[in-house]
């Protein structure tokens, strides 16, 4: 699997795909302009790659959504907070229908990581919660929603990225739990849902209880020994991006691709610059020629991938209307609102100070969050807002902010938690992205598990006193 450089299938890229016989492409924000363009691109890719084409996208909901022209579905943790499995199935079906409308047939979701580490820098709100039962029941609903809507789901990140303090985009994490603890916690959702799982994505994480040396992506003990032989999984295994530093900085592209296939992966995600793609493709061809890779295993992988494409064809369905799922998404965001430490909204019509980050930029897999001015305009529907926008929370003078009698509202809107906000005491905390920020700020909080417009509309309704906060905290407070 490769990515392509832009929103059109140019002649040079088409020749590259044709030359190597590539049949699977992962799309990113750089490939998305509008619905009509995305539909054309998918049709061009399918025409070139054939009926066995696999066209994929990270379309999880929350912050992990590339197209910005459809209604926004809530994050997995928002669904975990709402804790309504029927609703999770409906939302997941809606996400799948958006993709199927334009011809994308593979969604790299749902996340089955159990986010037991509050300091996790890359999972957080992408997980359904911090306990295996919640993750498993909502993961099952998400898989069913995708299947019923005709799009292949892909659970990730096997065997679990929820107990890491490092982001595998930048470093190589390790989870040192015993095998007994892993079976009980991280492994459980993946193991229990395998019968209804069409595809599994690997984690670039070392599990010494399985393999003391190699990350799961490159570990035969993990992919063949555990997943194939011990658990009997017969579906597709795809690696996470091999361009992430956890792999690229330690192994190199070509060798890593060969190691992943030898470990038991069916498909290597060789993303990035053309030279990196060619290094992987050439190394795999050489390894097949010199016997490092078993041709029989390669044929079995090809058959599994072809079966996935037959079950979920990359055929656009323009009769599907993405707006039809907007009410379900809005209801899910509203049901996710969670009260922490009994927050009380200032009276509508009063003056408030709003403290918010001026701009919260895009960070690796996540899209850019809401900016302070937009958030001030939202709250301006309820209050007279004095906006205090910051670039770095360390620059805030909390004594001065508390000097007046105006209620002080802090909004946290970034993926990462800020040490400078620990122990701060606003009158109300709106946790509009990373929900674990509520553990840092010494104040009553309203948690949304996301910053999208639908989430902010639910917040405004709560501030007006028109809605409650029915969600349950999906981790320990």
Q: Active-site positions?
A: 169, 240
Cα end-to-end distance, the chain, whole Å: 40
Backbone φ and ψ for 64, nearest 5 degrees, come out as: -105, 75
Using CA atoms, how far apart are residues 155 and 235, in angstroms rounded to an integer?
A: 11
Q: Give the bridge partners for 269, in sequence order.
A: 241
Query: How far out from the chain centre does Cα 475 lie?
Result: 18
Closest C-alpha among 123, 38, 16 to residue 75? 123
Radius of gyration of the chain (CA): 23
Closest C-alpha among 96, 230, 89 to residue 159? 230
Using CA atoms, how far apart are residues 9 and 17, in angstroms rounded to an integer?
A: 10
- Tokens representing 291 are 């016997």
Asked if omega into 157 is within 30° of 0 (cis), the reply is: yes
Task: Let me know if 299 is exposed, middle or buried by CB neighbors in 10 A (0-12, 13-18, 19+).
Answer: exposed
C-alpha angle 65-70-76 in degrees, rounded to nearest 5: 40
CA dihedral (83, 28, 320, 335) in degrees, to 10, reads 20
Indicate the helix (H) or strand (E) that contains 472. none
C-alpha angle 249-251-254 in degrees, rounded to nearest 5: 115
Q: Describe the chain by its helix, strand, coil percentages, rounded to 5.
A: 40, 15, 45
CB of 447 closer than 8 Å to CB of 366:
no
Task: Let me know if 34 is exposed, middle or buried by CB neighbors in 10 A (0-12, 13-18, 19+).
Answer: exposed
- The set of residues, in sequence order, having a beta carbon less than 8 Å from that of 391 and lying 6+ positions away, is 357, 358, 359
CB of 429 closer than 8 Å to CB of 418:
no
Using CA atoms, how far apart are residues 312 and 434, in angstroms rounded to an integer?
A: 34
């Amino acid at each position: 699997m490769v990515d392509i450089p832009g929103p059109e299938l140019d002649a040079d890229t088409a020749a590259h795909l044709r030359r190597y016989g590539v049949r699977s492409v992962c799309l990113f924000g750089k490939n998305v302009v509008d619905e009509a363009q995305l539909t054309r691109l998918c049709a061009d890719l399918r025409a070139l790659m054939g009926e066995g084409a696999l066209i994929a996208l990270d379309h999880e909901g929350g912050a992990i959504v590339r197209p910005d022209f459809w209604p926004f579905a809530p994050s997995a943790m928002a669904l975990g907070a709402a804790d309504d499995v029927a609703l999770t199935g409906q939302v997941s079906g809606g996400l799948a229908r958006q993709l199927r409308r334009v011809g994308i047939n593979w969604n790299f979701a749902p996340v089955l990581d159990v986010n037991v580490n509050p300091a996790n820098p890359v999972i957080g709100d992408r997980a359904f919660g911090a306990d295996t039962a919640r993750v498993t029941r909502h993961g099952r609903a998400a898989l069913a929603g995708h299947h019923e809507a005709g799009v292949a789901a892909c659970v990730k990140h096997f065997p679990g990225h929820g107990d890491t303090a490092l982001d595998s985009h930048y470093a190589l994490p390790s989870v040192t739990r015993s095998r007994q603890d892993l079976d009980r916690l991280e492994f459980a959702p993946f193991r229990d849902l395998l019968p209804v799982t069409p595809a599994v994505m690997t984690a670039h994480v070392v599990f010494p209880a399985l393999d003391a040396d190699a990350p799961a992506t490159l570990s035969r003990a993990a992919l063949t020994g555990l997943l194939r032989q011990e658990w009997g999984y017969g579906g597709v295994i795809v690696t996470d991006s091999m361009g992430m530093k956890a792999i690229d900085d330690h192994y190199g592209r070509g060798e890593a691709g060969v190691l992943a296939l030898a470990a038991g992966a069916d498909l290597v995600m060789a993303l990035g610059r053309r030279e990196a793609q060619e290094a992987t493709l050439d190394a795999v061809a050489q390894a097949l020629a010199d016997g490092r890779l078993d041709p029989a295993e390669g044929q079995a992988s090809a058959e599994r991938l072809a079966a996935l494409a037959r079950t979920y064809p990359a055929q656009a369905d323009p009769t599907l209307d993405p707006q039809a799922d907007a009410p379900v998404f809005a209801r899910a965001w509203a049901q996710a609102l969670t009260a922490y430490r009994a927050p009380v909204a200032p009276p509508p019509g009063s003056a408030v100070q709003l403290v918010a980050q001026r701009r919260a930029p895009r960070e690796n897999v996540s899209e850019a969050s809401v900016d302070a001015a937009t958030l001030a305009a939202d709250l301006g529907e309820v209050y007279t807002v004095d906006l205090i926008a910051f670039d770095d929370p360390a620059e805030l003078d909390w004594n001065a902010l508390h000097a007046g009698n105006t209620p002080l509202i802090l909004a946290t809107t970034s993926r990462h938690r800020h040490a400078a906000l620990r122990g701060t005491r606003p009158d109300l905390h709106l946790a509009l992205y990373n929900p674990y920020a509520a553990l840092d700020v010494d104040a009553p909080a309203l948690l949304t598990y996301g910053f999208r417009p639908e989430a902010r509309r639910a917040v405004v309704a709560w501030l007006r006193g028109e809605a409650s906060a029915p969600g349950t905290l999906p981790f320990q407070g």
